[in-house]
Structure 1
């Protein structure tokens, strides 16, 4: 495939990466004499994409000596003359920048069996080993990763709800190639079950053994941990999106599927002729990506609820994370009535009903089914004034994004 020429690192890029890597490892070994340093992630698996200069380094600590100790703290305290940034998580890790590369220094216990793991990150070296043993052609994974990335399906973080890199690697290993994965995915149904190690005789037995909180519309059994579903974070929306993209690709395979796409607002306008599009350009807070992303998602859902509660008809809403963050809402173009219903408690809740009456004693109380309501005058009947006021004054929005800019289309 032509796309492979663009995404596969050149010999020159590999040589430069190795040079910087060797230099950093040398510095680390001088500071961490009692630890072993192992390359991990896509760099170790040889599945990294050209231009992606993030490299994982596992800092392995002796299990018996450190199993009950804070190895993150030990790592921080023993790095001298190396500048780093702390990234908080279930176990803190460090980021080090060097000559255009970003290294993740991930402290793990040097375990021999899965049961010894004290944290999910302790299992990461096992993932690397499995992929290296079971993927015959790493270029197939490169192609798959590019496909998922450009179609905004890559990443299992809370705000993305897509496919993790490890899940993609398992799928490519299971189906042997990117094309076979696409061909099979086009036929996937709800609760597709993939068990590449054949831990379970059938799907029913597999579902019984997986943590119920980790079930999702796609079940991909972790080949090194049979109770774990690696695709637990995947949303139904993104699962269905991938199935449809697979069908589209099979009908007309071309390079456009591997290119980043801007939101086609013109097409949206054609499909929703009676509506306005509220486009929001957002700058995230300067925090860890998944934390900042989760806060943007919180803002998105908050705006949606505010619009609905005010009485606006919201047809759809979404966020694009590729490059600059763009959020949008498709809202019926209308002027709302002068008055809106403000609901109180159910009629049978006497105590709360009395409090509601006292608070709104100057308003006529009305019934609607089991609840009461009053009619109050709207402050904003038009979409533009409502949104401008909301974005300017709402504390949830102001506290969870760095900057947000509105344009109505």
Structure 2
């Protein structure tokens, strides 16, 4: 009699196969550690005093990295008696003295240093010594504590599961805590696998997640409801209470969209006849201009693209939220003006942000219905009626429980309204963008970055819904 494998056994076979493909070879992992220790030794020769310590931290150090990543993160931890500017400058001088290379200074919460040496992408981050659940001087101070906590607890099998989880999230486009992704960081992957004991356990649980979701590994809030814990962390859809800092949500970067993607992905892989397909690449195929034009014609909608230059000195985590905020503000303003949006999207490429808006209406009708407050609020109703005393073609009258009027307006196209909004003060464009948005011409919309954004927008599809 043929034995039917359990769902867990089927998925474990797939996880094993994926793990063999994404796990660094022993010589690769050894080379990473040997390289990191060599750099640490060099830095210690000029920094190994005054209680300063250097740590090799991150997925490569914990054996949870993917083959070919070649990322080396070194944290230089100073005593807290020093000031931030001092530790940055001292680290900079030490690097110049013992680590030759083309180093660049980057900025997150505070400066860090990056270079490519012998094929490794090396980051050196100055920080301060810290102890669990105590005040810190900078966000990166927690990293050595995370290293110690996870290295002591993750089993060999769980490290395998973390690597497989990372690939699964990458394929779905939700791996990475960068502002442009709003997804799951490597650290978060490790916490989740640790909490649910295995990748299968995590997938089984996440398939039935309903926000707010709370993961409290150390039972720091044992008597609080998920909603109460979420409220402590600004109403985040996913809260993973940091095991070494009870005031921090390790999943703060995860957007509602990314949480929904992972839950949906988990549900699908649990019933899929071909779970291996979830780990296969899904390459982006750019549409030909003729194909993009044909698809837009079939949709019968109106599409407009805007672009704005990104200042060269801005890093992604600064400019990306501003671009998104501008896109959201423009979309809301268009809807308030009466345009019925199908959707919108944006992309940053080649030093500029491109924004796309699609509307059912290419032109606003002459008639506009304006809804006011519920009739129960007499004073507000009076103000509304008084404010709309002129130009009314019908009304005031009641719709449902609200007072409303009908007005005549000029015929305005989607392009005209976007142009007006971009030169007005109605929109919050962010501190670094300003009102420098301009309309993308038809020729540019169907070539280069414009065509790429159109292709992404028109080809949008969540692959796991067809990976049955």
TM-score normalised to structure 2 length: 0.68
Give 1:220's match in structure 2, choosing from 227, 236, 240. Answer: 240
Instruction: Decide whether the 8 Å contact of 1:277 with 1:329 is kept in 2.
Output: yes
Give 1:291's match in structure 2, choosing from 292, 311, 318. Answer: 318
Give 1:118's match in structure 2, choosing from 137, 150, 155. Answer: 137
Give the Cα–Cα distance (whole angstroms) in 2 for the partners of residues 78 and 247 of structure 1. 50
Give the Cα–Cα distance (whole angstroms) in 2 for the partners of residues 212 and 189 of structure 1. 18
Instruction: Decide whether the 8 Å contact of 1:300 with 1:327 is kept in 2.
Output: no
Partner of residue 314, structure 1: 341
SS of alignment partner, residue 72 of structure 2: strand
Sort the Cα spacing of 1:392 and 1:226 in 2 relative to 1 into closer, same or farther, 3 A: closer
SS of alignment partner, residue 134 of structure 2: helix
Instruction: Decide whether the 8 Å contact of 2:32 with 2:72 is kept in 1.
Output: no
Cα deviation, residue 334, structure 1: 4.3
Cα deviation, residue 188, structure 1: 1.5
Give the Cα–Cα distance (whole angstroms) in 2 for the partners of residues 321 and 167 of structure 1. 26
| Equivalent residues, number | 390
Q: Which moved more, 1:44-53 or 1:212-221?
A: 212-221
Verify: 1:242 aligned to 2:262, yes or no: yes
Verify: 1:131 aligned to 2:158, yes or no: no
TM-score normalised to structure 1 length: 0.76
Gaps of 5+ in 2: 1-15, 371-379, 397-402, 439-443, 459-468
Instruction: Decide whether the 8 Å contact of 1:284 with 1:296 is kept in 2.
Output: no
SS of alignment partner, residue 96 of structure 2: coil
Give the Cα–Cα distance (whole angstroms) in 1 for the partners of residues 408 and 189 of structure 2. 53
Instruction: Decide whether the 8 Å contact of 2:129 with 2:141 is kept in 1.
Output: yes
Cα deviation, residue 289, structure 1: 3.0
Instruction: Decide whether the 8 Å contact of 1:163 with 1:231 is kept in 2.
Output: yes
TM alignment of 1:247-396, pairs within 5 A: 247-252=267-272, 253-261=274-282, 273-275=299-301, 287-305=314-332, 307-308=334-335, 311-318=338-345, 331-337=358-364, 365-366=391-392, 375-376=409-410, 378=412, 381=413, 396=434
Sort the Cα spacing of 1:228 and 1:341 in 2 relative to 1 into closer, same or farther, 3 A: same
Partner of residue 6, structure 1: 21
Give 2:77's match in structure 1, choosing from 54, 57, 60. Answer: 60
Verify: 1:80 aligned to 2:96, yes or no: yes
Partner of residue 464, structure 2: none
Gaps of 5+ in 1: 358-363
Give the Cα–Cα distance (whole angstroms) in 2 for the partners of residues 154 and 332 of structure 1. 31
TM alignment of 1:156-175, pairs within 5 A: 156-175=177-196
Give the Cα–Cα distance (whole angstroms) in 1 for the partners of residues 243 and 91 of structure 2. 30
Q: Which moved more, 1:217-226 or 1:126-135?
A: 217-226
Verify: 1:100 aligned to 2:119, yes or no: yes
| Deviations, residues 312-334 of structure 1 (Å, cap 9, x unaligned) | 42222345899xx9978573454
